[in-house]
């Protein structure tokens, strides 16, 4: 289940956090600083689900995404994310 806190999106199975995305909320953009998925839950697309969620948040709020985290930079490399990328 996806959960949100200030500066954090995460997925839980039961009561265990299995993936998380950390960001700093600035006036005009989200600076996504890290993503993490438990080794036992990798290769399921969980980190990508979290990236997609922060992208939707940015679109809804008219913000951009600064991909400080290398994974996020990779995940939003496609042109369909051009509207939220900081140029």
Domain ranges of the chain: 2-81
What is the band of 34 on the pLDDT scale with cuts at 50, 70, 90?
very high
> Residues 39, 41, 45, CA angle at the centre, nearest 5°?
115
* Predicted pLDDT of residue 87: 75
In 3D space, the residue among 1, 9, 2 whose CA is nearest the CA of residue 58 turns out to be 9
Residue 25 has pLDDT above 80, yes or no: yes
Question: Domain 2-81, what fold?
Answer: Aminopeptidase (3.40.630)
Tell me the average pLDDT of the chain.
Answer: 96
């Amino acid at each position: 289940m996806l959960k949100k806190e200030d500066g954090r999106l995460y997925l839980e199975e039961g009561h265990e956090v299995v993936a998380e995305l950390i960001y700093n909320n600035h006036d005009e953009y989200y600076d996504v600083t890290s993503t993490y998925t438990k080794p036992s839950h990798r290769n399921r697309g969980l980190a990508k689900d979290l990236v997609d969620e922060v992208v939707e948040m940015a679109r809804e709020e008219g913000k951009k995404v600064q991909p400080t985290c290398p994974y996020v930079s990779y995940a939003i490399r496609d042109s369909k994310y051009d509207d939220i990328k900081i140029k």
